[in-house]
Amino acid sequence: MQINKQSNKPYYEQIVFGIKEDILKGILIPGDKIPSVRDMAALLLTNPNTVSKAYKELEAQDVILTVRGRGTFVKDSATSSPSSKQMDKIKTKLQEAVVEALYFEVPLEEIQSWVKQTIQEFGGEINGNY
């Protein structure tokens, strides 16, 4: 995992997203201890406060569990069901991306293929009749 310092995306959001990616990819599994705030900051060449902010956000989203004095752990993903608010947010984000693509005349097949690729890369088993 790395922070793209050129991106206009805040560092802490990149960390939040990166952790989720690692969980989806199976690099991190439920129960795993993730690096301490300080270690992660050293790894990512950023400030501990920034990592701390990311971890707090991840905890608010029920992705990790942090125990004072002991560390931070990956939660069971089954536990974390999104609120309808989060659901709406995700849906809107997806739709906006699609509209954007359509506007710039990305061929439909390509849009579909991007989605499929991502699902295959991150989504694990896919039903045959899809």
Partner DNA sequence: GTGGTCTAGACCACG
Closest CB to a second copy among 32 and 96?
96
| Residues at the interface with DNA (CB under 7 A) | 10-13, 36-39, 46-50, 52-53, 55-56, 66, 68-72
Beta sheet of 64-67, edge-to-edge order = 33-34, 71-74, 64-67
Q: Which does 55 bind (CB under 5 to 8 A by kind): a second copy, DNA, none?
A: DNA
Closest CB to DNA among 90 and 119?
90
36 in Cβ contact with 73 (< 8 Å): no
Check binding of 1 to a second copy (CB under 8 A). Answer: no
74 in Cβ contact with 34 (< 8 Å): yes
Amino acid identity for residue 49 in this structure: N
Q: Could you give the CA distance from residue 129 to residue 33 in angstroms, rounded to a whole number? A: 37
Going by C-alpha positions, the residue among 9, 66, 14, 8 that lies closest to residue 37 is 66
Check binding of 48 to a second copy (CB under 8 A). Answer: no
By CB under 8 A, name the binding residues for a second copy.
5-6, 8, 10, 17, 20-21, 23-24, 60, 63, 65, 67-68, 77, 80-83, 86-87, 90-91, 93-106, 108-109, 111-112, 114-115, 117-119, 122-123, 126-127, 130
